[in-house]
Structure 1
């Protein structure tokens, strides 16, 4: 059996058995290396020698985590939630259809900003959503629609807009891997190519979100008005934010964005933003270590997985069995590019579902997908679209994904929103089916 196929199959199997993803990646990589005839020391060396690219991205994640926690400590998110809860707090206001659509628009805007402008990732969800559950109940909103809005909006924001987490995915991961692997095949990628290549796949996510809101979960759904729900709404009105904290937070966000755009470094921008918040007294000076550690803990799993995934890809390359696999796959598919694109997308979906992170999927898929796509005759733009979409498929909808976990953390504050039935399955269907279709079209027309 081909060592690359064996390695990926073992990795997926271990992830599905709920083995910790880092252990699954390392174990599968070493097993694949041994199967290819490498000794243990050589396999470990191949793993270690390729950790650098992933480690750089991982450090950025850690710093963003610290910055996100610092922003949360500033009270900005609580203030925003308070204003929304106060705006929709009366029975008269909270029963109008216009209010429902306004809330949906706010969730989309907040999801976009959480990835690109105010890089707090999913931290805004457990702050903003619980105070509004009582309002959702009065509006009879199906919370599955909200889960789809949150998951789809978060996904298409980092897949299309090259700032914040989008800069990490599109530039530091996708572009870096395309240029590294593609150098052997005369394929190079520039930053302006990523949004163009990902536009059609992202429109598939948007289409899925619209189907969820206007068709699948359009009908009213009733929930029990619990004491916990009402308490969450009332607690949101007790937040007080000092003007200095608010000004410092806005300044930190502005400086972080400027540094990101000017120096193309989200790590530096997040670090400077963190320092500004600390110096302004948003949290106690002595609490800096605690804030940083909390942020690091929030992002540690993703950072570690991305780092190890780079080493995993290095072992795949070191086996020397990628080229035979690509050649065999190309011969099997023949000239049927449509079938080839569909298979690549579905395999990417299956892999990402296994460990629930699109950022770590790119370095795993790139060594195989780039030569295979080029061998099948796909253009450079189509190749980028196939790789970027294949890695992103399954992120929204995986039980282990931070996106679906974040949606559940907010919507299940009163115990009436099941993680699998109400978050995982709805987001999997609506975010991924549309993306598969539109990404397939992108591969055929680009």
Structure 2
């Protein structure tokens, strides 16, 4: 069997058996490297070298987690959540509870979509918004799997289709892949080709909301029942100023690290609270998001081992050669190969250059149009973010929803998002490739 295929299967099976994702990725990389006849020393060397490629992202997430903790400590989010809970208890009718659920789901959906384009902060909003809402979710018996599906949709759908914010970067990477293969396409063709595949996300979202609409019980811990506290205008001003400063600095420097640092410094310099208290809260926030950074670092090491195994190309050719040039079967096998590769790497942005170099020449041989090739490559990339245990689009929702230890990363986030997004993506991607 192909080494990449074995490595991904090992990683997924271990994750499903509830082994820590970091350990699953590491063991999968070792098994894949050894299966590809790489020495143990070379496997570890490539794994270690790959870790360095994700250092900037890991540090960004850690600092954003610290910044989110400071915002949460200011009490703004708690204040509004407490008010909503009080309103529900005063008017605890079925209609009120249903409308509250609708408002929460729609608001989180809009916020998640905005995080990709209008306010390109990606998952940074999750540790700010979600933890204070958990007590409200528990009060409403809101199934957190639905929230995970909504958040993942908002983190993936916009950049897949719309060429703005992170979507512009995603489309640029696709365009660059075609340029490197000396295959001329227009940038505007990409969103047109991704229109049909992206409908797989919409189908999954609607299905997920319907599937997880029923009440689900969660325990309400003592720490989640609190009294309404007043917040000074000065605290509100400093918090809003810190948030706006973070956005502006991030946009100007194109760096999440400096954006988060700017926001953190605002809290310290304006001395809303004493430095010792702020430092304790900062460290707590860093711990929350640092785990995501560790997973991303490990995923980069896994990807680097797979890239140097020389097995990715043989995986694709081995699967498509079975088709003997049949267009329909070739598309199916290309999408399956893309799914396997992206599940292991966990990042659409990192996957596109790999699969573009392999899929474009083959697609030309079987007569696929430019739009069909774009749809296949774009779909394969999106698969990596929608359901991989190593994707920040699944790790982010879990980090927020599991603050009280009642949301499992694999079974409550990855399995639902894989079933609801990856399978429809494969179907809609196949339809797009066949008709374009």
The TM-score normalised by the length of structure 2 is 0.75
> Partner of 2:206 in structure 1?
210
Alignment partner, residue 363 of structure 2: 376
Structure 1 residue 199 displacement after superposition: 5.5
Q: Confirm whether residue 301 of structure 1 aligns to residue 301 of structure 2.
A: no
Tell me if structure 1 keeps the 8 A contact 2:320–2:333.
no
- Mapped contact 2:376–2:429 kept (Cα < 8 A): no
Determine whether 1:393 maps to 2:398. Answer: no
CA distance in 2, matches of 1:86, 1:193: 50
Output the CA distance in 2 between the equivalents of 1:223 and 1:316. Answer: 40
Q: Which residue of 2 aligns with 1:8?
A: 8
Q: Is the 8 A contact 2:63 2:260 kept in 1?
A: yes
Does the aligned pair in 2 maintain the 1:151–1:404 contact within 8 Å?
Answer: yes
Q: Does the Cα contact within 8 Å between 2:66 and 2:284 map onto a contact in 1?
A: yes
Question: How far apart are 1:269 and its partner, in Å?
Answer: 0.9
Q: 1:438 to 1:103 in 2, by over 3 A?
A: same
Find the counterpart in structure 2 of residue 314 from structure 1: 304
* Residue number in structure 2 paired with 1:70: 70
Residues 196 and 391 (structure 1 numbering): CA distance in 2 closer, same or farther, change over 3 Å?
farther
Residue 140 of structure 1 corresponds to none
1:60 matched to 2:65? The reply is no
Report the counterpart of residue 107 of structure 2 in structure 1: 106
Matching residue of 1:255: 245
Change (3 A) 1:340 1:243: farther
Q: How does 1:195-274 map to 2 (within 5 A)?
A: 200-213=196-209, 215-216=210-211, 228=220, 235=226, 237-274=227-264
Change (3 A) 1:232 1:223: farther
Contact residue 352 and residue 391 of structure 1 kept, 8 A: yes
Give the Cα separation in 1 of the matches to 2:186 and 2:86.
46
- Cα deviation, 1:209-241, whole Å, max 9, x if unaligned, reads 32344x5466xx577899x59x89963x51322
Equivalent in the alignment of 2:155: 158
User: What do the CA deviations read for 1:289-311 (whole angstroms, capped 9, x no partner)?
Assistant: 43333222212222122222222
1:186 Cα shift?
A: 4.7
Listed one character per residue, the Cα deviations across residues 87-116 of structure 1 (whole Å, up to 9, x for unaligned) are: 444326663465553344334345456777
Task: Provide the alpha-carbon RMSD of the alignment.
Answer: 4.5
Is the 1:50–1:314 contact (alpha carbons within 8 Å) kept by the matching residues of 2? Answer: yes
Give the Cα–Cα distance (whole angstroms) in 1 for the partners of residues 112 and 78 of structure 2: 15
Q: Given the superposition, is the C-alpha separation of residues 63 and 262 from structure 1 closer, same or farther in structure 2, using an over 3 Å criterion? A: same
Match of residue 276 from structure 2 = 286
Q: Tell me if the contact between 1:349 and 1:394 (Cα under 8 Å) persists in the aligned partners.
A: no
For residues 268 and 27 of structure 1, what CA distance do their matches in structure 2 show?
34
Question: Quick check: 2:134–2:401 contact (8 Å CA) kept in 1?
Answer: no
**Deviation string for 1:7-50 (max 9, x for gaps)?**
33333344344443333333333343344343333333322333
Alignment-derived partner of residue 129 in structure 2: 124
Q: Is the 8 A contact 1:338 1:444 kept in 2?
A: yes
Work out whether 1:324 is the aligned partner of 2:318. Answer: no
SS in 2 for 1:393: helix
Q: How far did 1:273 drift? A: 1.1
8 A contact 1:51–1:307 mirrored in 2:
yes
Deviation at 1:272, TM superposition (A): 0.8
Residue segments in structure 1 that go unaligned for 5+ positions in a row: 138-142
| 1:51 to 2:51 alignment | yes
Equivalent position SS for 2:38:
coil
Q: Residues 40 and 280 from structure 1, CA distance in 2 versus in 1: closer, same or farther, beyond 3 angstroms?
A: same
| TM-score of the two chains, using structure 1 as the length reference | 0.74
8 Å contact 1:47–1:312 — kept in the other structure?
A: yes
* More displaced stretch, 301-310 vs 368-377: 368-377
Distance 1:385 1:337, change over 3 A: farther
8 Å CA contact 1:115–1:154 kept in 2: the answer is no
Question: Equivalents in 2 of 1:188, 1:63: separation in Å?
Answer: 40
Q: Deviation at 1:407?
A: 7.6
Gaps of 5+ in 2: none
For residues 85 and 72 of structure 2, the distance between their equivalents in structure 1, rounded to whole angstroms, comes to: 18
